[in-house]
């Protein structure tokens, strides 16, 4: 099972948000590049990267950071944040990332998701971000009445490389992941699924790893690493 340490970039800094709230931002001392190198040196092979400036303001001011992280040997990056066109996907792939995460644009227009998956085979991931089961869009600021469980059934025949399910109410809270809902969603689709939001301890990691579902691919961990709730060295031993 893949463990994805998370790096969220905002104005060139490494940050974490609470429940996706841009008004509740914690900034960290290490630069995104230094943080990525630390993860690499500890043996992590995958990083979950989010460009918050692109997601919120459609500003692509972090290109050099993304490119430099992509150059780190043995690291594969999945990146999301404001990706709304095929040109943007190609740009990110050209920078060296492994997979591009689509969210709002894919959910608002399934045909765009299908086209992207056909054009960039095995390079497109889908983000399903939900509050109380209902999908939120546009940096989690736009709440819909679309159940993630309903939407996921619509994309079962699309060649998505992986689905990332985030429980927004748990994201950044270190309150434990919504494992039950993630398992429920994984039973509705054959696509590999990754759990995100609330992972707070080594015990959470162990509990997630116990689930041997064929398409349960991994977990994303952010704030608990940065705040020291999870010992990063112990976590690296579980890769």
- CATH number for 2-236 (one of 3.30.1380.10, 3.20.20.70, 2.40.30.10, 3.40.50.300): it is 3.20.20.70
Scored b (16 or more CB within 10 A) or e, 4-18 reads bbbbbbbeebbbbbe
The reported pLDDT for the residue numbered 25 is: 86
Scored b (16 or more CB within 10 A) or e, 79-92 reads bbbbbbeeebbebb
Q: Cβ contacts of residue 160 below 8 Å, gap of 6+?
A: 113, 117, 124, 125, 126, 191
pLDDT, mean of residues 78-103 = 97
Give the global pTM. Answer: 0.95
The reported pLDDT for the residue numbered 199 is: 95
Average pLDDT, the chain: 94
**What pLDDT digit, counting tens, does each position of 130-161 carry?**
999 999 998 888 999 999 999 999 999 999 99
pLDDT value at 219 more than 90: yes
C-alpha R_g of the chain: 16
State the CB neighbour count (10 A cutoff) for residue 132: 11
Scored b (16 or more CB within 10 A) or e, 172-192 reads bbbebbbbebbeebbeebebb
Active-site positions? 8, 129
**pLDDT cut 90: percent of the chain above it:** 86
pLDDT value at 63 more than 90: yes
Show me where the domains of the chain are located: 2-236
């Amino acid at each position: 099972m893949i463990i994805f340490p998370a790096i969220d970039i905002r104005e060139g800094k490494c940050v974490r948000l609470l429940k996706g709230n841009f008004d509740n931002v914690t900034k960290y001392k290490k630069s995104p590049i230094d943080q990525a190198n630390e993860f690499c040196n500890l043996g992590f092979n995958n990083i979950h990267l989010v460009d918050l400036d692109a997601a919120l303001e459609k500003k692509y001011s972090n290109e050099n950071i993304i490119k430099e992280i992509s150059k780190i040997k043995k690291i594969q990056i999945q990146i999301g944040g404001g990706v709304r066109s095929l040109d943007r996907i190609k740009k990110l792939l050209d920078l060296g990332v492994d997979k591009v995460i689509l969210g709002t644009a894919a959910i608002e227009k399934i045909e765009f998701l299908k086209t992207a998956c056909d054009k960039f085979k095995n390079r497109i991931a889908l983000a399903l971000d939900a509050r109380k089961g209902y999908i939120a869009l546009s940096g989690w600021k736009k709440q819909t009445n679309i159940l993630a469980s309903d939407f996921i059934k619509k994309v079962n025949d699309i060649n998505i490389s992986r689905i990332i399910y985030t429980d927004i109410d748990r994201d950044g809270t270190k309150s434990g992941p919504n494992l039950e809902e993630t398992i429920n969603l994984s039973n509705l689709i054959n696509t590999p699924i990754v759990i995100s939001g609330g992972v707070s301890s080594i015990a959470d990691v162990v509990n997630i790893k116990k689930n041997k579902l064929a398409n349960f691919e991994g977990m994303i961990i952010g704030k608990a690493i940065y705040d020291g709730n999870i010992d990063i060295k112990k976590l690296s031993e579980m890769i």
